[in-house]
Amino acid sequence: MSTPEVRTEAIGSTLLITIDRPNARNAIDAATAAGIAEALDRLETDPALRAGVLTGADGTFSAGMDLKAALRGESPSIEGRGFGGLTEAETTKPLVAAVEGWAMGGGFELALGCDLIVAAEDAKFGLPEVKRGLIAAGGGVIRLPKRIPHHLAMEFLLTGEPVSGARAGELGLVNRVVESGEATAVALQLAELITANAPLALAAVKKIVRAAEGISEPEAFSLQRKEMSQLMQSKDVREGMTAFAERRDPKWEGK
């Protein structure tokens, strides 16, 4: 179900999630965070949906935290889910960010919370929190140094200056750099490629990648063996092998 702040639309097996507060540059207030969380719940619980695309209305991804709402005492975070109901959420289904225009502060952090990012070449990514006496606490300080070299991440975090989508591509921050206005279409194409694959395998990839960040390599391999053991017992593995042998597309059940 869509809300006034967040629209959802099922396109094939992908859920398109659109932050829809263009008059506020799609900044995140409490209602918007709740709307994103509700959309992610729909994605997680609907077996017909296998991936999500997150974007913003009217050519802007998100300006981040709604400072006016914050001054009124509203929180843009949800307990257990983080900023925007997303940055700390442990989703099992792949999520692609489609970034047009500004992805500033929490907006950038929402994109970092997704599995893939498609950016318009003239998009703007930045973490300006230090200019307001804050830090990028929605994942920027934690995640960005893991995605790009240390000194480049520190430039984002310490100067607060933005970079273009084209520069983000050069830094390896995004998967695709596209012409202005094409980010959502390309993100949906990427999602379609993803959803052609086995749902249980996609969830296992996300689980192992997430867990491996905080544990030793032997522990990660141990976790991976458990996941592989479960996958090998699934109907989808047999279907994948049978479909390959029969030279046809597999019909996944997620079982």
Q: Which residues are catalytic?
A: 109, 129
The Cβ of residue 182 has, within 10 Å, a number of other Cβ atoms equal to: 17
**Residues 149, 172: Cα–Cα separation, whole Å:** 10
Whether residue 127 contacts residue 83, with contact meaning beta carbons closer than 8 Å, is answered with no
> Going by DSSP bridges, is the β-strand pair 14-19/51-56 parallel, antiparallel, or unpaired?
parallel
- Write down the residue that tokens 């990648």 correspond to: 209
Q: What is the DSSP letter of 40?
A: H
From residue 204, give the alpha-carbon distance in Å to each of 93, 94, 126, 145, 223: 10, 11, 31, 24, 10
Which of 167, 145, 170 lies closest to 157, judged by CA? 145
Which of 211, 207, 169 lies closest to 186, judged by CA? 169
Burial class (CB in 10 A: 0-12, 13-18, 19+), 101: buried
Which positions ≥6 away from 54 have C-beta within 8 Å? 17, 19, 36, 86, 95, 96, 97, 98, 110, 111, 114
**Residue 149 Cα to chain centre, angstroms:** 21
